[in-house]
Structure 1
Amino acid sequence: MEWRNLYRGFCMGISDLIPGVSGGTIAVILGIYDRLLKAISGFFSKEWKKHISFLIPLGVGMGSAIILLSRLIEYLLEYHHEATQFFFLGLVIGVIPYMMKKADVKQNFKVNHYVILFLCIALLAFMAFAKPDSELKMEGSLTFLMVIGLFLSGWLASMAMLLPGISGSFILLLLGVYPVAINALSTFNLPIIAAIGAGVIVGFIVSSKGIRYALSHFPHITYAAIIGLIIGSVFVVFPGIPSGGLTFICLLTFIAGLFITKLIGSKD
């Protein structure tokens, strides 16, 4: 077993609780993004045994973070929102130079790649200002239609989790499901967790194969889209300009995020 993946999964699990921060971005920072896609895709093939030692510790780490820290994340976002968001803003911005170097932007990007990059930035910037018109209300027992809705929401969110720059939690927020999901995790509402979780698993299988195919056959275009999504996620994470005594605290948490990205990235 690759026991290092316990802490890697824990870090990814934390990020997937935050609207605006992608688990895929954290996987990039940790240097395991390509391996993650290969492992998820390969797990559902004849060579599934080769990927068990990678995926099990990663999954345990992610699950532990989501279960143990859902209440803490709720608290931090409610009472220390700006400082928390600036920390994750540092993480997101810190990964951009790494991705540009990995894609060798100066050498490989042409006009069409920059067009795709800026379109993805615009898409995320637009989504940052989008507000959900309604919030899913869970009253009484789950109906079949509710289960289908939660399943599809989990599917869409999981596809976002694997793409650096798009947050699965943010997709749930746009769909009006995020408060329901966080409450279910905090209160161990197993039927809701199972419905969303099933969608997440199916989404992981489908999207991992799709992203791997795109990276293999259209690497420069895919990297252009990923870099654009990461830059665009800055608009999602940015909580606004802090005021008063918060300015210094937010600056410290932002620098901490940059430092952690640099520290982790230098080891991989």
Structure 2
Amino acid sequence: MAKSVGSFIFNAVRGGAVGTSEALPGISGGTVALIVGLYDDLIGGAGHMVSGIKRYVTDVPRGRGKERAQEQFRLVNWSVLVPALVGMPVALILALLLIAPLVEEHTQYAHAVFFGLVLASLWVPYSGSGKPWKAWHYLVALVFAAVAFSLTGLPGANLPVHPVVVFLVASVAVCALVLPGVSGSFILVTVGLYVPTKDAVAGLDLVYIGAFALGAITGLSLFVKLLQFLLENFHHIALVVLTGLMAGSLRALWPWQTEEREILPMTEIPLTVTLMVVGFLIVVAAVVYEHRKKARTGTTHQHHSAPVH
């Protein structure tokens, strides 16, 4: 019992880390999911849930498909996904109310930490497939890095705060939850909806929150199936692309720039660089911990599967 409670809390905290990142411009929820080891469970679980719901909606009323729908639901790792999905929105709301204002007040220092986090995180997709990179893999990664670099350098816009606009923006921004290197909150900043979204949460604007939630569910349902297909059938090249996107997105986290993406002179260099190193080391520690945990689990499995003489 204690072990299950501890596991629930651990996975809720991991989900909370992903939710917190979604409230902070420039840091991707997908990147954090990779760091904390939730990525495969989130993508796979969401993909199977979408397939199961689709079968229930389209096939069950016709008197067929119930077993196939339930089969999809059984493939979801609920023991990880449920606590993660509990921790995610709670942390997101708390981060919007408590952490985001601090980040806005100390943008340079916050970006320095995030820059170090993402820079170290490049190792996760780079080594994730377990296969060596060839020359053309580096070229593909470079192309997608250039795309991300260009997108994160776009000047901001100010879209109208209308439910239809909120729905459409949310359906795109939520893709950052599952796509490392792309920040959902950064997308909101770019289109001018970051502050309205934060204010809507603080003021419990149910119309705004409802439109945003509906758009997020729609976008996630459509995009997660595509990403699940790519990871299952083209795993190595998918990770190559993700590595490139993450590398290019570092532009958004460069500490010495204005909100309009104009580069500033480098000031307070010692403290800023120190914070970069701190962010880098946090990820290194997380990666080493996850690696040792998997190694111990593998050793345990081998021990249990050994024949008894």
Same fold (TM over 0.5): yes
Partner of 1:214: 230
**1:34 is the counterpart of 2:40:** yes
Q: Is residue 237 of structure 1 aligned with residue 253 of structure 2? A: yes
**Amino acid of the structure 1 residue aligned with 2:286:** I
CA displacement 1:61-95 (0-9 Å, x = unmatched): 11111111213333222221111111111110011
Q: Aligned residue for 1:253?
A: 275
Superposed displacement of residue 193, structure 1: 1.3
Using the size of structure 2 for normalisation, the TM-score is: 0.77
The alignment-based identity, stated in percent, is 29
Whether the aligned pair in 2 keeps the contact of 1:109 and 1:220 (CA below 8 Å) is: no
Unaligned runs of 5+ in 2: 53-69, 257-263, 291-309
Q: TM-score scaled by structure 1?
A: 0.88
Partner of 2:199 in structure 1? 183
Q: Which deviates more from structure 2 when the two are superposed, residues 31-40 or residues 42-51?
A: 42-51
Conservation of the 8 A alpha-carbon contact between 2:24 and 2:100: no
Q: Structure 1 pair 219/190, CA: closer, same or farther in 2 (3 Å)?
A: same
CA RMSD in angstroms comes to 2.0
**Is the 1:165–1:231 contact (alpha carbons within 8 Å) kept by the matching residues of 2?**
yes
**1:228-267 Cα deviation digits (max 9, x unpaired):** 00101111111227755x3232223212211111111122
Q: What is the rounded CA distance, in whole Å, between the counterparts of 1:220 and 1:51 in structure 2?
A: 23
Q: For residues 242 and 261 of structure 1, what CA distance do their matches in structure 2 show?
A: 28
* Cα distance between partner residues in 2 of 1:129 and 1:182: 23
Is 2:82 the partner of 1:56?
Answer: yes
Please say if residues 42 and 51 of structure 1, whose CA atoms lie closer than 8 Å, have aligned partners that are also in contact. no
Q: Partners of 1:93 and 1:108 in 2: how far apart? A: 19
- Largest Rg, 1 or 2: 2
Q: Deviations over 1:164-221 (max 9, x none)?
A: 1011112222222222212212222222111111111222222221111111222232
The answer on whether the counterparts of 2:109 and 2:255 sit within 8 Å (CA) in structure 1 is no
Query: Higher relative CO (CA 8 A, sep ≥ 6), structure 1 or 2?
Result: 1
Equivalent pair of 2:140/2:241 in contact (CA under 8 Å) = yes
Taking the TM superposition and a 5 Å limit, the aligned residue runs for 1:146-185 are 146-185=162-201
> Could you tell me how far apart the structure 2 residues matched to 1:252 and 1:72 are?
24
Cα distance in 2, alignment partners of residues 254 and 25 from structure 1:
16
The separation in 2 between residues aligned to 1:168 and 1:37, in whole angstroms, is 16
CA distance, structure 2, for counterparts of residue 19 and residue 257 of structure 1? 16
Query: Residue type matched to 2:109 in 1?
Result: A
What amino acid does structure 1 have at the position aligned with 2:246? I
More off after superposition, 203-212 vs 234-243? 234-243
Shift in alpha-carbon separation, 1:247–1:72, aligned structure 2, 3 A: farther
How many residues align? The count is 257
Distance 1:24 1:76 in 2: 22
